[in-house]
Amino acid sequence: MTVSKQNYTPPSTVQLIFGDGTPKKALVIAFVVGSVLTAINHGDLLLSGSTPPIWKILLTFCVPYCVATWGAVTGKRAQWSRDNEEIADISFFNFRNAITAAYFADEDLKVKKVNENFFKFFPVLDNIAASYFPDVLKQLGVPEAQIVEFTDNINDKGFVLIPEIHINIKGEERVFSLLSTRTQDEDFSYLKGVQGQFIDRTDEWRLRRERDNEL
């Protein structure tokens, strides 16, 4: 499937107001609604040959125009948000059924999505949507030095690989690797952020420790 390249940078208010035929649509609505309102409010005056105040006529047409324009702008913004959420969902699709605990955060490290395994790995967590990811690490009991290592590397290098993180989960010591990288996409700015995953290394770590104890 080929995805057409589009500009997924948030459109400005000026673009929303004057783009995609919005002025023409608003004018049509303003003409129809304004004509009806003029007939209702000033019909008797017009039939008598008199002219209502010009400012009232202008308001009768300007208000529907403004309301129609605002409605169009609001609708476009909502559509843009829905479209980009779908793009993010598609981008995250490969991680949904992964055996790892995967997450996606925005450029400021605010968590946007996690897969189901994330909560299976870490049942102590509840709703972490919009949470600052280093705070999530702190909540899991990750040592402060490794949290600093994460933030420094993701900000300075754009990627992180921490091979061994010990986390106590319900009284059991488990070991994970944490891999994270900043994602870049020239066509879909909405996908810029940080994507990563925890890999459970507990069994591997236990086997290695048993071998070391036997030696």
Q: How far is it, in rounded angstroms, from Cα 3 to Cα 198?
A: 30
| Neighbouring C-beta atoms of residue 12, cutoff 10 Å | 10
Say whether both 148 and 196 belong to one domain.
yes
CA distance 135 to 143: 12
What pTM did the predictor assign?
A: 0.58
Residue 55 lies in a domain: yes
C-beta separation of 133 from 105 below 8 A: yes
Q: Which domain holds residue 29?
A: 13-87
20 is a domain residue: yes
- Asked which of 87, 105, 140 is the last residue of a domain, the reply is 87
179 is a domain residue: yes
Residue 65 domain-assigned (yes or no): yes
83, 102: one domain: no
- Give a yes or no: residue 161 inside a domain: yes
- Span 151-174, pLDDT tens digits: 999 999 999 999 999 999 989 999
Residues 106 and 201 in one domain: yes
To the nearest 10°, the Cα dihedral for 148, 154, 157, 158? 180
4 domain residue, yes or no: no
Q: Classify residue 144: in a domain, yes or no.
A: yes
Average pLDDT over residues 3-8: 39
H or E element, residue 40 = helix 22-47
Query: Whole-angstrom Cα distance, residue 176 to residue 130?
Result: 23
Same structural domain for residues 79 and 156? Answer: no
Reported as a single tens digit per residue, the pLDDT across 62-100 is: 877 888 787 777 766 666 555 555 545 545 545 666 688
Same structural domain, 169 and 105 = yes
Same domain, 82 and 63: yes
- Do 48 and 123 belong to one domain? no
Q: Pairing relation of β-strands 101-105 and 159-169?
A: unpaired
Report the number of distinct structural domains present in the chain.
2
Q: Answer yes or no: is 5 within a domain.
A: no
The two structure tokens encoding residue 78: 């909502």
Q: Is 120 helix (H, G, I), strand (E, B) or coil?
A: helix
CATH number of the domain to which 101 belongs: 3.30.450.20
